[in-house]
């Protein structure tokens, strides 16, 4: 009896010790999701601006080189299709940002994970209290806590996020991607319904598909140059850091 109580007491003591020394200061799932959503929400605004240009290019170039006649009603119904389909595409693209950014920060190398005890640079604040900007400054090596992600924001986190967003666009706008077929089909259907002459339709379709692909490819390059160019996205840094440091 006595010995089993002693045994029990030892187990309790060891568990307490274990839970005391196991660090809790890793960016947990709520933190990962929160920080990824924060980036995603803010970066979507930059995408919106660039997509205005994307739509304009698609509309302006759609029938370049087509020798038949395009009535103004056919043109305006094609423009409307471009507007609607591009908006849907933008929603799908930016809707995936949180996932994309979570992968970028926490799964790509160097990964923001692992213990932050060796050496200990910052002390975890009490529950409900945020980390400070000093913690962000002091956590000067990569590990799993929010201050580490904050510290390496400019060096690793932002460039990686930007690169991933820009590569994701390139994939989605590839000639074998679903947006190309969705958009081409919708445009050809709308051209067929408006009064483009029936025997002009095949050549219109050929011209439109080529122009769409050229516009996609030009826009992928434009986007890679313009998205978060220079200091454009720095305006989000403060909000994102505050959000990040609010997680335990
Ligand atoms: C960034 O996004 C958050 C919402 O997640 C928003 O509250 C904040 O105003 C945005 N920051 C800027 C500078 O637009
Ligand atoms: C954007 O992606 C392209 C590939 O589409 C790549 O060549 C370029 O370096 C990327 N730009 C940035 C800033 O990551
Ligand atoms: C799409 O085409 C690219 C080359 O342009 C290729 O690398 C990629 O694997 C293709 N994707 C699919 C889903 O077929
Ligand atoms: C399409 O039209 C725009 C004007 O809106 C132009 O700047 C662009 O270079 C054209 N070509 C392509 C391939 O996008």
Q: Is 174's C-beta closer than 6 angstroms to any atom of ligand 3?
A: yes
30 CA to middle of ligand 2, Å? Answer: 29
Nearest CA to ligand 3 atom 4: 174
Confidence of residue 70 (pLDDT cuts 50, 70, 90): confident
How far apart are alpha carbons 110 and 171 in whole angstroms? Answer: 23
167 CA to middle of ligand 2, Å? Answer: 7
CB–CB of 110/142 below 8 Å? yes
Q: Which pLDDT tens digit goes with each residue over 206-221?
A: 999 999 999 999 999 9
Q: Which pLDDT tens digit goes with each residue over 127-169?
A: 999 999 999 999 999 999 999 999 999 999 999 999 999 999 9
How far apart are alpha carbons 142 and 159 in whole angstroms? Answer: 16
Q: Which pLDDT tens digit goes with each residue over 99-108?
A: 999 999 999 9
* Cα–Cα–Cα angle for 157, 228, 93, rounded to 5 degrees: 85
pLDDT of amino acid 3: 54
Give the pTM.
0.86
Q: Which atom of ligand 2 is nearest to the CA of 163?
A: 14
- Statement: residue 18 has pLDDT above 50: no
Residues 96-124 as b or e (16 or more Cβ within 10 Å = b): ebbebbbebbbeeeeebbbebeeeebbeb
Q: Which residues contact 68 (CB under 8 A, 6 or more apart)?
A: 196, 197, 200, 203, 204
- Statement: residue 21 has pLDDT above 60: no
How does DSSP classify residue 16? H
Q: Is 166's C-beta closer than 6 angstroms to any atom of ligand 2?
A: yes
Q: What is the mean pLDDT of residues 195-201?
A: 81
Q: Is 217's C-beta closer than 6 angstroms to any atom of ligand 3?
A: no
């Amino acid at each position: 009896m006595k010995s089993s109580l002693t045994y029990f007491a030892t187990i309790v003591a060891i568990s307490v010790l274990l839970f005391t020394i196991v660090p809790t200061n890793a960016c947990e799932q709520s933190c990962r999701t929160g920080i990824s959503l924060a980036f995603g929400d803010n970066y979507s605004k930059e995408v919106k601006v660039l997509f205005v240009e994307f739509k304009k290019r698609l509309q302006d170039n759609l029938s370049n080189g087509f020798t038949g006649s395009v009535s103004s009603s056919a043109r305006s119904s094609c423009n409307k299709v471009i507007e609607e389909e591009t908006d849907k595409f933008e929603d799908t693209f930016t809707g995936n940002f949180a996932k994309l950014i979570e992968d970028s920060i926490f799964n790509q190398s160097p990964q923001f994970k692992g213990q932050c005890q060796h050496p200990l640079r910052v002390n975890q604040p009490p529950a409900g209290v945020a980390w400070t900007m000093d913690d962000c400054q002091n956590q000067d090596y990569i590990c799993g806590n929010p201050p580490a992600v904050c510290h390496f924001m400019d060096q690793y986190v932002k460039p990686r996020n930007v690169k991933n967003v820009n590569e994701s666009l390139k994939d989605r706008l590839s000639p074998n991607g679903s947006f190309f077929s969705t958009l081409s089909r919708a445009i050809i259907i709308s051209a067929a319904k408006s009064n483009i002459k029936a025997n002009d339709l095949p050549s219109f379709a050929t011209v439109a598909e080529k122009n769409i692909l050229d516009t996609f490819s030009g826009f992928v390059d434009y986007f890679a140059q313009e998205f978060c160019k220079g200091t454009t996205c720095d305006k989000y840094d403060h909000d994102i850091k505050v959000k990040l440091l609010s997680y335990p």
